């Protein structure tokens, strides 16, 4: 199982997820979500394989989210529009994202990682 780990190194939650992956001995490729954000096509695949709506991929506690008033914009937005916003700025994306291409988790909850990735 080849894993891709989208993360932001300064993010405390991402560091906890990385430690969990390392402690479990899982192999993964790290991708800096701000320097190298997923493309629109990658985001479509991540959303589809997560069984979550596109809205769940937004970093709602982030400064950028508040600055751009995304809470209001998302109320009326279509999925394609959401994906375009996410692809345009890695700071808008909730992190970490972990995927093997078939399933995807967003954020870090140890019990979810246990269930999905062990």
The string of pLDDT tens digits covering residues 32-85 is: 999 999 999 999 999 999 999 999 999 999 999 999 999 999 999 999 999 999
Distance of CA 49 to the CA centre of its chain: 12
Instruction: Give the pLDDT score at 64.
Output: 96
Which pLDDT belongs to residue 45?
98
Q: What percent of the chain has pLDDT over 70?
A: 99
- Tell me which CATH code domain 3-117 carries: 3.40.30.10
Evaluate if pTM is beyond 0.75. yes
Is the pLDDT reported for residue 1 higher than 90? no
């Amino acid at each position: 199982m080849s894993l891709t780990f989208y993360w932001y190194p300064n993010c405390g939650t991402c560091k906890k997820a990385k430690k969990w992956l390392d402690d479990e001995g899982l192999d993964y490729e790290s991708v800096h979500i701000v320097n190298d954000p997923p493309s629109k096509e990658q985001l479509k695949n991540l959303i589809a394989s997560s069984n979550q709506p596109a809205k769940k991929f937004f970093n709602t506690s982030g400064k950028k989210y508040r600055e751009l008033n995304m809470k209001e914009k998302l109320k009326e937005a279509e999925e394609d529009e959401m994906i375009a916003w996410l692809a345009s700025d890695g700071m808008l994306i909730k992190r970490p994202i972990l995927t093997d291409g078939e399933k995807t988790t967003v954020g870090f909850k140890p019990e979810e990682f246990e269930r999905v990735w062990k």
